[in-house]
Chain A
Amino acid sequence: MRNYLPPIICGVCGVIMMLHFFLPENTMLYKTMMEWVTNSTIVVGVFGLFIGLASLVHNHGNRIARRSPGWGYSVITLSFTAIVALTGIISQNVGPSVVSKPLDKYNYDNRKNQDHTLITHTLFGYKDETYKTNLVAAATADAPEMKGEEITVRKVPLFMFFYNYVIMPMGATTFSLLAFYMITATYRAMRAKSWEASLLLISSIIILIGQVPIEEIPLIGKWIMGHAQLIVYMSLILYILYAAMKQFFSRNFITCGILSASAALIGVIWYYTPANVDFEAMKSIILNYPNNAAKRGILIGVQLGSLATSIKILSGIEKPYMGGRG
């Protein structure tokens, strides 16, 4: 029973979902199945939440009990899980309020045009009440420039305090690490080690330059973009001439000749090409043609792989839910 019941359930549910895809959308059967699928997914998801919570408590509880290295972090994890969950669950209108700072200053043009809003956090609960008041004392304490002006006070739950001042900044901080990692990865990885790497290097430079208006950089931006064509063509010609010279000293005269002719050809092309290199157009060409072609190819392969994996699971060839090929 243990061995054949899960694959039967998997297969039957899979076939039902496949049949559901082929049903016309106006039929009652389609709508009933849709409702059944939606409700089942929600129920399973909620049970999954409890399993996750149980695993978290079990794991960190064991670390605290055994005083494993870093058990203090487990204490913090469990206590904050409990605190934030409780503040979210407990109902409205209980407890005092805490006055906090005024809402911010995204508008760098003119703060006076903003609606001044003071956020107060109630200890528990949520109430969508706003009222205008002339809280001069509070305004003076938190934002002196608002003295004498009318402000709106909105009550929001303490749970929002955790969201606004803990979760949001921490999420943004972790995401911003990417910028630093990307720059060091760029420095380490973008080297012309082979011709494929050189191709990657050249296309990444074109897209980096096309993405931002380099000419806006103070002092040097306009000079760089004004001489972009010179820089690009001269670098290419010099590099090819250097390679030609190496071939000459290695006595590969034919290769040297071919490379020198290529450099001359590039010089001729340079002479006849228009004044400025349009990096934005080049970026668009790279994104719209080679990028799309490669992505479509990978996408087709990935979708076929997914289809094959689905067929294997539905037919019971692979049973990951039973521990592999169990």
Chain B
Amino acid sequence: MNFLKKIPPIWLKVYRPVIYIMTLVLVWMGAVNNNKLNLNVADSTGGAYDTIENLGEIRKGTLREYEQKLEQRLQDGDASQAEIDDLKGIVEDLKHNEKGVVLICFDFDAGCDAEMTPQVATILRHCFSRGVKVLINTGGNVMSQPLAQQTIDKATKDGSRLDPPYPTMESGVDYVFLGFRPNAFQLYLQMGESIISAYETDYSGKDLSTMPIMEHIRDFRAIDCVVTVSAYVGAPETWITVGNAKFGKKVILGGGAIGASDYYPFLQSGQICGLLPGLRGAAEYESALKCPDIGSKRMWSQLYTHAFAIFLIVLGNIEYFFSTKKRKL
């Protein structure tokens, strides 16, 4: 029995490297596991999925609202010609792109790639598959651009894996990658006036005004939903302030699992309509879309490490229980 008494001091010296090695082994075991993972879709992810599915209806609702507003202003008789023309313009814009228009804010860099790229990639595939026009920008970080470009390149060619499948998407026609501009908050407000004047060119330098997709997406009112996948503190709040509070648009948030728990109050109050918490959110979205990809694959690593964490908590409490018992004696 003497050797049992030697375990605690030895364990205290070696527990860190043992835990690190076990974690590494479990992550590797998850990475090589190619089986499908069955996940239930939570309400937060379901809300995001349903919003993208129903973008057409949302757009029709917005069109009706502006038509009623135009009619009201015409009846009042005190509106200026500029206001009437503006309303007529937005009504005309909303009649096009009837499947909906989404703005995706790709706001993270390489560190958060593992959790958030699957979210953006899946949402992109969902939008392309349903014929939704997509504008993509990067929020506050210039380093997000190459990562965004890679993710877009992959998603535009992934059409055969979905049902219904989609052909290779064309930049300037089906989507446009706007890139980065400094001073995010002011930029988003400027997008309320004119997206083309805010950005002028897309990421590769082509003039936005020559692109077919931008013909009927002049300002924020022609966008139906904002999806922001952000790793930065304060960036989602900016979109909730600008996108939802100011422009009245549907906002979907994606982010890391840790940061996502901060946004459940906004989900409950209805300021956002969907929340993708980390890798689980991406995997749930892939389940909802019936297109398992890297999100579902990486969940195996998360599953094994979570189980290991639970085991360690139990072990730690048993250790604490016996050590307090010993101290009391």
Contacts and interface: CB of A to CB of B under 8 A. Distances in A.
Interface in B275-291: 280
B23, B40, B110, B183: which has the most chain A beta carbons within 10 Å? B110
A284 B299 contact: no
Interface of A: 31, 34, 37-38, 41-42, 45, 106-109, 113-115, 128, 160, 163-164, 167-172, 174-176, 179-180, 182-184, 186-188, 190-193, 201, 204-205, 208-209, 211-214, 216-217, 280, 284, 287-288, 291-292, 295-296, 299
Contacts of B187: 38
A108 B264 contact: no
For the complex of A and B, 10 pairs with smallest distance between CB atoms: A175-B111, A171-B110, A168-B110, A38-B186, A171-B111, A187-B312, A191-B320, A212-B303, A212-B306, A190-B313
A160 B150 CA distance: 12
Contact of A193 (B147, B161, B320): B320
Contacts of A211: 257, 280, 302, 306
6 contacts: A31-B193, A113-B161, A114-B157, A204-B313, A205-B310, A280-B42
B308 interface: yes
Contacts of A280: 40, 42
Interface string B298-327: 010011111111101101110010000000
B317 A42 contact: no
Contacts of A160: 146
B75 interface: no
Contacts of A176: 114
Contact of B16 (A115, A184, A201, A208): A184
Contacts of A41: 182-183, 186
Contact of B294 (A106, A191, A292, A295): A106
Contacts of A191: 316-317, 320
Interface residues of B, number: 62
A223 B191 CA distance: 54
B317 A192 contact: yes
A11 B268 CA distance: 38
B160 interface: yes
B307 A214 contact: yes
A205 B316 CA distance: 13
A50 to B, nearest CB: 15
Given A179-B305, A187-B19, A292 B40 contact: no
Given A175-B111, A179-B23, A211-B306, A164 B146 contact: yes
Nearest to B115: A175
Contacts of A299: 265
B303 A217 contact: yes
Given A42-B182, A108-B34, A205-B310, 6 more contacts: A34-B190, A41-B182, A171-B109, A184-B20, A187-B315, A214-B307
B316 A187 contact: yes
A53 to B, nearest CB: 16
B240 to A, nearest CB: 13
A192 B320 contact: yes
A187 B15 CA distance: 10
Contact of A213 (B37, B146, B309, B312): B37
A115 B316 CA distance: 49
Given A38-B183, A108-B34, A288 B264 contact: yes
B265 A212 contact: no
B76 interface: no
B309 A186 contact: yes
B113 interface: yes
B264 A113 contact: no
Given A45-B182, A213-B39, A168 B147 contact: yes
A186 B16 contact: no
B112 A175 contact: yes
A212 B307 contact: yes
A323 B258 CA distance: 35
A192 B324 CA distance: 11
A114, A186, A187, A280: which has the most chain B beta carbons within 10 Å? A187
A171 B313 CA distance: 29
B261 interface: yes
A170 B307 CA distance: 27
Nearest to A173: B111
Interface in B141-182: 143, 146-147, 154, 157-158, 160-161, 182
